[in-house]
Amino acid sequence: MFTGIITDIGIVRAVEMRGDMRARIGCAYDMSGVDMGASIASDGVCLTVVAKGDDWYDVDISAETLSKTNIGSDGWQVGQRLNLERALRVGDELGGHIVSGHVDGVARIVSAVNDGDSLRLTFEAPPELARFVAPKGSVALNGTSLTVNEVEGNRFGINLIPHTQQVTTWGDAREGDAVNLEIDTLARYVARLAEAG
């Protein structure tokens, strides 16, 4: 479980196709304190550490994960920056919202406009996921807990303050980018209950 509060920006150092995809991610984490098998959300995707060094970790990425994330749609490239978050520990502050790291699908940035010092982004979500996105609700985009400003059909907008742009990869956001979308867990269960009722 994660909070959507990014704690490091990693760099893709290597990508290799095997039976699954293997990626090496450079980071600033003290890897001596990260166990083999630990989960690290990498651009919002909960991935398992399968090997590690002083300033890197390796992950295996299954075909299922590739089919649901921007790793498969746009591919991770060597040198690409990723939002990182280690798994929540008992006693940690829950500063964002509850995020599982199980990406639901890929949204696309359809508009990026400066609004004062902030960056205003409009996303288009897959139709089957758009119904779970609500104004003033939460979404996780590339692992970042963000508040939805407005919703119109399959499109929704968010506002990124300068701090968020500086401490995440959002400062690099461009129109056309594919973004990992995880809908709010609460929204998913409310919709499920409404269907059952």
Please say whether the structural domain 8-86 has been given the CATH code 2.40.30.20: yes
Q: Which residue has the tokens 């399968």?
A: 50
Residues 6+ apart with CB under 8 A from 20: 60, 61, 62, 63
Work out the mean pLDDT of the chain and round it to a whole number. Answer: 92
- Judge whether 8-86 and 105-196 match in fold: yes
Residue range 124-131: average pLDDT? 95
- When the candidates are 1.10.565.10, 3.40.309.10, 2.70.70.10, 2.40.30.20, the CATH number that belongs to 105-196 is 2.40.30.20
pLDDT tens per residue, range 1-59: 898 999 999 999 999 988 899 999 999 999 999 999 999 999 999 999 999 999 999 99
Residue range 97-111: average pLDDT? 93
Strand partners, 104: none
User: What are the boundaries of each domain within the chain?
Assistant: 8-86, 105-196
The helix/strand count (H/E) of the chain reads as 5, 13
Residue-level pLDDT at 92 = 66
pTM of the model: 0.92
